[in-house]
Each structure stands twice: as C-alpha cells, then as structure tokens.
C-alpha cells in the first residue's frame, strides 16, 4: 500500500497547530520561533521637554532623550561616550565583539539593553560592568557566542535572554537574588547539570517563565521558584525526574518535556501530582511505555505522541477530569491493553488521536463526549455492532488505512452516530459500500478500497452529503444501484476517478459542481450528459488511456481542453460557464 504517511502527519500537525496555539504556547511552533518572545521592546513614552540637544552616536537614531537606537548599522565597536542619561540602548544586529567596564559602567539609568545578535564572546565581555547598571531591567544577549554567563547581574533585572549562545555555566548571582526577575531564556545553549549552581534562582521568587530547551540537561533543575508559570525543557537528555522536583510548582500551567529520554522508570506516581495548576503537559517523543499515573487533575491537554506506549491502565486518566485533548498517536497501543475503564468520567475529552498504533479493534470504553476520533493507520479489522454505540456526539471519525473488510463490518455499527459529519474509510479492504451509514454525513471518503458495488439503498436519505470520494476502486456502472446519485440533493463533489466506468453516470444530481472521472473506461460523452447538472463547474476526464482522444464526433484540439486538468491543478481555474457537452474534452 503506497501511501504518503508524511503528508498525513503534516496535515494533522497543521490541524493541531490551530488549537494548540490557543491553549498552550509553543507546543508545535517551528524551532526558530520557539519561545522567542522576550524581545518586545518596552515602549516607554518619554516626554521630551528638555531643550538641550540630544547627543547621538554616528549612524544611530535618538528620538527621545535617553533612547539610543543603533540596531543593524554594522557597528564593530561599542559606541563611545554614551550619555549617562541613556535609558534604552539598542545595539542589536551588529558585529560588536567587545564590551568593557568603561563602556557601560556610567550608564546608571540604563533600563533596556539590547545586544542580541552580535559577536560577543565571554572573553570580550567584561561582565563586572553589569553590576553597576543598577536600573537594568531588560537584558537581551541572545545570538552571541558566550560560553559562560556573566557572574553577577544587577538585582533590578526583570527579564534576561541568553538564548542561542554556547553557555556551559551559570553562576549563583547570575539569576539568583533578583526579586523582580520574571523571565529567563536559556534555550539553545550547551548547559549540563554540572554547569548550573545548586540554587540557580535563590531569592528570585517571582520567576514566571524559564526556557532551557535544547541543552544537555539530564536532570530537571532543583529548587525552581514556586511562582513559575511556564517551563520549557524540551530537547534535552532528561532520563529521570528526581522525586519531588516539581512538588513546589503549584502555579505551573505549562510544562514542556518533549524530545527527552524519559521512561516510566524515571518518574513515579507523584512526579506530576502536585502540579495543581498544570493545564498543558507535553511528554511527546520520550520513552514511556505506559501512560504515567498520578497526573495532575487540572490537565487540559496531554501530549504523548511518539513514545512506546503499550498500555493505558484503568486508573491513569480517570482523575484528569478536565482533559480535553489526548494525543496518543504514534505509539504501540493495542486495543486489549487499553483498560475498558481508562476513559471513564472524562466528560470534557473531545479530541482523541490514536492514529499509527497497533489497534486491532475500536477500543472499548472510548470517551462518550468525543467529537473527533482519529483511528487511521492501525490494524482495525472489524467493527462490531456496539463498538461505536456510545459515541453519540461524534462528528468526525477517521478509520482510513486499517484492515476493514465488508464481511467484518456490522451493518448496524453506525446506527448511533447521529451527528457524524465526516467519515473516512479509505485505504481498507471493503468490496461493497457499507449499508447503514449515518444520514447526517456531509463528507464520505471511501477511496482506495476494492469496492465493486454500491448496494441498493446505501446512499438513501443522505441529503446532507456534499462530498463523496469513491476514487480508486473497481466500480462499474451496473454495480451501482439505479438512482444512487439522484437522491444526493446537496452533493457538490463526486469523485469516481480510477474505477471501471464505461459511461458518464446518467442520474447525477442537479447540485453537482465537480465531477472526477479520470482513469475510467469512458470513451464517449453523449450531448445530453450534463443537461441535468446546470451548476457544474469542473469535469475531469483525462484518462490514462492514450488512445482515447475523441469526443462525441467533434475532435477537439488540445488548446480547448479546459476541463482536462493535470493532477493537482486548482479547480478554480476550470470554470465552465456555458457548457455544451461538445466542449468536454477527453485526452
């Protein structure tokens, strides 16, 4: 089965992005943008009342007293003789290699100091100078070449950004003893456990955001302040979380631990249990084999994609009553190792992703309020009468690329899915379109099966169906019951490409706008073929059969072949305003 798994996963990521960004920041943002939010310049409105002229270094702009902007002007040296009234100094995007005590020690009023994206090394930065900046609140040093953090930063500090350096060492007074400190960005460095002081935030009791992703940590740092709200530790080498590491973080709302080496042995049933404010927990891409116990009760989103999860115990999730999103795709779950009571009581859980697992059946006891159920790419080979019977609120069910056959699909299996809008059964082994599909369906995809019949009544009553995809099957006209299409009064898209049709179907509904018939055995189109479909906008007839060049007696040149679209062509370009059957081209 040649199937583009990657594109599926990409499509899903895009979907995920939409909602995850609302809930949990930076869960699936691209690496470059990750966690990179500190550099909002604080726009302090400064009243320009003084009449004395502003001293401004060459090439820089100084719009108000105390505000000096030298960003991106190719400076190789720190500007000389800056006014000691300077409050905001922007030197970002230059090539500055050296800053001495003399350069900065007189800037007692400096509040915002932006040095990001320069060529600063630890040797070139005389960090004693920082101690004297007694009003310094915002320090931006991201994207330099520092190997050690400054030994001492002033107690006035509010936010510090050292991302994307080569830091291996932090000192006790780098971030310790800073009562106003709220955010520290250290992602993309080379920090190891040994490079951190014992109590990195000693007496810095207001820290809310800490990012240490993409370093070389093996252990979660100890003694993190209890004010912490968001903690990023992804892309490290974390193997275990020491007992009690998160015990004091009762304000933590978002915890990112993805892309580490965490296993169930590296945590216990109380590792997360004290995180009483935690809403987003990302454990994806680790080495978990079961869903951990003791998850905090206010969790809304739990992401565990790409582990080796084989089982969900009965009591792992039941306490997480606010859970809305549960992402378990790309694991090794089998139906029988999901405890039937695992989802009990999860009344808010509406999105459950279990694609790319080893499920042989629809798991028992699925959450009753589920709206979206992604079960594609498993090994589900049968659907019993009651497998779906409790999913009253389900609107989207994706069972594509499983091992379903017609004989093992109970004809009443779908009877309770009264609000189902989207059903995907593509890529299975069905040879006949199932009977008893919900009449609420708006989208039905059954491509890539072995359908050779649409039995009488299979599409009856589907008045809401807008899109029906039956491509790549073995359908012939006489295996489709008479009047099948006619009843579909809302249908706008019908894809029958890649079948064995010998003629254009005659009983198409009036609502139809797009009809795909390429790669069939159609060799002529009667003049009356589209008389009943006044709304048609695109007809796709290109065939793989090279010989079929003729059209109803009127041989047309390829220039007029506006309906024969190459695969992937945008449909909008194929408007057929006043179609007469003679213009439909078949190549």
Ligand X SMILES: *[C@@H]1O[C@H](CO)[C@@H](O)[C@H](O)[C@H]1NC(C)=O
Closer residue to ligand X in complex, CB, 294/505: 294
Cross-strand partners of 303 = 282, 327
Dihedral sign computed on CA atoms, order 426, 429, 432, 436? negative
Segment interacting with ligand X, rule: CB under 6 A, options 47-55, 208-216, 262-270, 364-372: 262-270
How far apart (Å, rounded) are the C-alpha atoms in residues 161 and 140?
Answer: 5
Return the residue of 273, 330, 402, 543 that touches ligand X, per CB under 6 A: 273
Subset of 494-513 contacting ligand X (CB under 6 A): none
199 touches ligand X (CB under 6 A): yes
Do residues 571 and 514 touch, judged by C-beta distance below 8 A? yes
Give the span between the Cα atoms of 579 and 576, in whole angstroms: 6
In whole angstroms, the minimum distance from the beta carbon of 253 to ligand X comes to 18
State the minimum distance, in angstroms, from the CB of residue 49 to ligand X.
41
Q: How many CB atoms lie within 10 A of CB 42?
A: 11
Q: Which is nearer to ligand X, 140 or 355 (CB)?
A: 355
The pair of three-digit structure tokens given for residue 31, joined into one six-digit string: 């690496």
SS3 state at 149: coil
Distance, CA of 551 to CA of 440 (rounded, Å): 39
Tell the smallest beta-carbon distance from residue 287 to ligand X (Å).
4
Q: CB nearer to ligand X: give 114 or 356.
A: 356
For 7, residues 6+ apart whose C-beta sits below 8 A from its C-beta are none
Task: Kindly report the length of the chain.
Answer: 587
Q: Environment class of residue 40 by beta-carbon count within 10 Å: exposed (0-12), middle (13-18) or buried (19+)?
A: exposed
Burial 157-167 (b: 16+ CB within 10 A, else e): bbbbbbbbbeb
298 counts as binding ligand X under rule CB under 6 A: no
Which residues are CB-neighbours of 250 under 8 A, at least 6 positions away? 226, 274, 275, 276, 277
Rule CB under 6 A: which of 408-447 touch ligand X?
422, 424, 443, 445
Under the criterion CB under 6 A, does residue 254 sit at the interface with ligand X? no
CB of 356 to ligand X, least distance (A): 10
Site string for ligand X, 363-382 (x = CB under 6 A): -------------x------
| Residue with token string 């965490």 | 262
Total chain residues near ligand X (CB under 6 A): 30
Shortest Cβ 364–ligand X spacing (Å): 22
Tell me the window of 49-57, 149-157, 260-268, 540-548 that interacts with ligand X (CB under 6 A): 260-268
Interface with ligand X, residue 398, by CB under 6 A: yes
Is 270 a residue that touches ligand X (CB under 6 A)?
A: yes
Minimum CB distance to ligand X smaller for 172 or for 436: 172
**Smallest separation, CB 444 to ligand X (Å):** 8
The answer to whether 479 and 456 have CB atoms below 8 angstroms apart is no
Q: Is 205 in the site for ligand X (CB under 6 A)?
A: no
The contact set with ligand X (CB under 6 A) reads 8, 11-12, 172, 198-199, 202-203, 222-223, 244-245, 247-248, 261, 263, 265, 269-270, 273, 287, 289, 294, 376, 398, 400, 422, 424, 443, 445
């Amino acid at each position: 089965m040649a199937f583009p798994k990657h594109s599926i996963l990409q499509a899903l990521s895009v979907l995920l992005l939409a909602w995850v960004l609302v809930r949990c920041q930076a869960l699936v943002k691209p690496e470059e943008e990750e966690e990179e939010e500190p550099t909002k310049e604080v726009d302090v409105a400064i009243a320009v009342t003084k009449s004395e002229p502003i001293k401004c270094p060459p090439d820089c702009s100084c719009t108000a007293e105390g505000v000096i902007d030298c960003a991106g002007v190719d400076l190789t040296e720190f500007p000389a003789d800056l006014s000691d009234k300077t409050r905001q100094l922007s030197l970002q995007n230059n090539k500055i290699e050296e800053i001495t005590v003399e350069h900065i020690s007189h800037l007692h009023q400096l509040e915002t100091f932006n040095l990001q994206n320069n060529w600063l090394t630890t040797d070139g930065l005389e960090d004693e100078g920082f101690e004297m900046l007694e009003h310094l609140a915002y320090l931006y040093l991201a994207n330099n070449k520092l190997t050690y953090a400054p030994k001492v930063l002033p107690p006035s500090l509010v936010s510090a950004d050292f991302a994307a350096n080569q830091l291996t060492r932090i000192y006790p007074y780098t971030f310790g003893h800073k009562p106003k400190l709220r955010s520290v960005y250290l992602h993309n460095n080379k920090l190891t456990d040994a490079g951190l002081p014992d109590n990195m935030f000693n007496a810095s009791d207001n820290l809310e955001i800490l990012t240490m992703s993409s370093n070389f940590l093996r252990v979660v740092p100890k003694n993190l302040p209890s004010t912490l709200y968001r903690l990023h530790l992804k892309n490290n080498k974390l193997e275990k979380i020491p007992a009690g590491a998160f015990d004091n973080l009762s304000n933590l709302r978002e915890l990112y631990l993805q892309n580490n080496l965490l296993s169930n042995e590296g945590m216990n049933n109380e590792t997360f249990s004290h995180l009483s404010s935690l809403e987003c927990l990302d454990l994806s891409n680790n080495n978990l084999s079961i869903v951990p116990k003791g998850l905090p009760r206010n969790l809304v989103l739990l992401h565990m994609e790409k582990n080796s999860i084989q089982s969900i115990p009965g009591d792992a999730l039941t306490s997480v009553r606010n859970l809305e999103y549960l992402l378990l795709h790309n694991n090794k779950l089998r139906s029988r190792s999901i405890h039937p009571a695992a989802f009990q009581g999860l009344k808010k859980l509406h999105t459950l992703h279990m694609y790319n697992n080893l499920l042989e059946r629809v798991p028992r006891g699925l959450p009753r309020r589920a709206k979206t159920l992604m079960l594609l790419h498993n090994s589900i080979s049968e659907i019993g009468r009651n497998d779906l019977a409790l999913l009253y609120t389900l609107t989207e069910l994706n069972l594509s690329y499983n091992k379903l056959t017609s004989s093992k699909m109970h004809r009443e299996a779908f009877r309770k899915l009264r609000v189902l809008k989207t059903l995907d059964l593509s890529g299975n082994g069905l040879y006949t379109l199932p009977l008893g599909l919900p009449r609420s369906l708006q989208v039905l995809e059954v491509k890539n099966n072995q359908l050779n019949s649409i039995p009488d009544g299979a599409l009856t009553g589907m008045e809401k169906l807008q899109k029906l995809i039956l491509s790549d099957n073995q359908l012939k006209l006489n295996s489709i019951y008479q009047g099948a299409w006619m009843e579909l009064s809302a249908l706008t898209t019908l894809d029958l490409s890649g079948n064995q049709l010998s003629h254009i179907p005659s009983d198409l509904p009036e609502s139809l706008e797009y009809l795909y018939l390429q790669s069939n055995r159609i060799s002529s189109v009667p003049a009356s073929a589209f008389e009943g479909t006044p709304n048609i906008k695109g007809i796709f007839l290109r065939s793989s059969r090279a010989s079929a060049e003729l059209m109803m007696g009127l041989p047309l040149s390829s220039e007029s072949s506006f309906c024969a679209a190459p695969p992937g062509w945008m449909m909008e370009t194929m408007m057929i305003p006043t179609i007469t059957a003679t213009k439909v081209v078949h190549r």
